[in-house]
Structure 1
Amino acid sequence: MKKIIDSCTHGLSFLIVAMLAAMVVLVFGNVVLRYGFNSGILISEEMSRWLFIWITFLGSIIAMRENTHLGSNFVVRRLPPAGRRISLFIGRLAMLYICWLVFSGALSQTLINVSVGAPITGISMGLFYASGMVFSVAGALVLVGDLYRLATGSMATVDRYIDDAGEQA
């Protein structure tokens, strides 16, 4: 199972790099064309915005999976092992609820805007808002896995959360 998750994470990283490269080409190409040839790529700005949103949400999935998101653990570090486990469990439950809120909001916006075309490309705006649904579903899966490991795993799992965040502080 870990190999499958690692390969999915690697695939997401590759996709993010490809999207970032496309953004760079679009924006840099547009700048060169505007200043050098008094022309431009019409869809550059819109597509760059869409790619940026998708990169942000896909990167958030990876950050959640690798426990590299922003956090402070100065209180949790001082708790006894059982307190750490309970604190992290409650935190993951709260994050799971937030994933539900993001999913329900993104689903509503996707359904509202599925028949609305983007101003320049005409691509369905539902695709724009679907990024929130993709993040929330993948994030919820990561959180459910974390909750399972916290409920049944060894103390090493809990210490990994504390130590990972501590190294970045």
Structure 2
Amino acid sequence: MQKFIHFANRLSVLLISLLLAVMCILVFGNVVLRYFFNSGITWSEEMARFMFVWLIFLGAILGLKDNEHLGVDMLVKKVSRRFKKILYVICNLLILYSLILLLNGSWKLTLLSVDSVAPATGLPYSYFYGIGIIASIGMGIVIFRNLYNGLFKKDTDHFVMTKDSEELTEPLAKEEGK
């Protein structure tokens, strides 16, 4: 299972990097063509928009996996371990519910837009809305993993889902002190 998670993580990072590179090339190339040659690639802006949406949703999956989303943990840090566990489960169940709503909405929009095509590229809009399905399933897998770890592992680090900026700089300060 760890090998699959590592492979999926590496594939996602590679795909995000590729999307960002192609998006930059398309937009920059289009700007140069319009500025110097009074022409352009008609489909580049639309394709860059498609790629940007995919990049954001794939990045959101990776951000959730690494607990890098914004959060408020003022209350969670002050309560007992047992209550932290209860709040952690409630929070993850609420996230899971919102992912079910995202999956349902994305599924409906994808089915509705199969026959609708983008004007410049001719791609079906279902490619645009289909990333919501992938993102909700990917994030759901992460939430189920978090719930399992939070309920059955003895480690208490799972219950605080955010990191303070001081916590991020502590390893660097320790390395510099050596």
Secondary structure of residue in 1 paired with 2:163: helix
How far apart are 1:37 and its partner, in Å?
Answer: 0.8
- Alpha-carbon separation, structure 2, partners of 1:113 and 1:79: 47
How far apart are 1:152 and its partner, in Å?
Answer: 0.8
Structure 1: tracts of 5 or more residues without a match: none
Secondary structure of residue in 2 paired with 1:72: coil
Q: In 2 relative to 1, CA 165–28 (structure 1 residues): closer, same or farther, beyond 3 Å?
A: same
Question: Does the 8 Å contact 1:102/1:136 carry over to 2?
Answer: yes
- Equivalence map 1:142-157=2 (5 Å): 142-154=142-154, 156=155
**Residue type of the alignment partner of 1:167:** D
- What corresponds to 2:139 in structure 1? 139
- What corresponds to 2:162 in structure 1? 165
**Residue type of the alignment partner of 1:98:** S
- Alpha-carbon separation, structure 2, partners of 1:72 and 1:146: 18
TM-score (norm 2): 0.89
Query: For residues 55-77 of structure 1, what are the alpha-carbon distances to aligned partners after superposition, in whole Å with 9 as ceiling and x for unaligned?
Result: 01000000011111111111100
- Alpha-carbon separation, structure 2, partners of 1:146 and 1:56: 22
Residue 3 (str. 1) matches residue 3 (str. 2): yes
Secondary structure of residue in 2 paired with 1:67: coil
- What corresponds to 1:59 in structure 2? 59
- Equivalence map 1:97-116=2 (5 Å): 97-116=97-116
Question: Does the 8 Å contact 2:85/2:159 carry over to 1?
Answer: no
| Structure with the greater alpha carbon radius of gyration | 2
Structure 2: tracts of 5 or more residues without a match: 167-178
Secondary structure of residue in 1 paired with 2:162: helix
Secondary structure of residue in 1 paired with 2:70: coil
Question: Does the 8 Å contact 1:67/1:161 carry over to 2?
Answer: no
- Alpha-carbon separation, structure 2, partners of 1:115 and 1:139: 28
Query: For residues 39-88 of structure 1, what are the alpha-carbon distances to aligned partners after superposition, in whole Å with 9 as ceiling and x for unaligned?
Result: 10111110010001000100000001111111111110001111111111
Secondary structure of residue in 2 paired with 1:35: helix
Question: Does the 8 Å contact 1:27/1:45 carry over to 2?
Answer: yes
Query: For residues 84-113 of structure 1, what are the alpha-carbon distances to aligned partners after superposition, in whole Å with 9 as ceiling and x for unaligned?
Result: 111111100000000000000000000000
- Alpha-carbon separation, structure 2, partners of 1:97 and 1:9: 24
TM-score (norm 1): 0.94
Give the % identical residues.
37
- Alpha-carbon separation, structure 2, partners of 1:43 and 1:161: 46
- Alpha-carbon separation, structure 2, partners of 1:56 and 1:168: 23
- Alpha-carbon separation, structure 2, partners of 1:161 and 1:31: 47
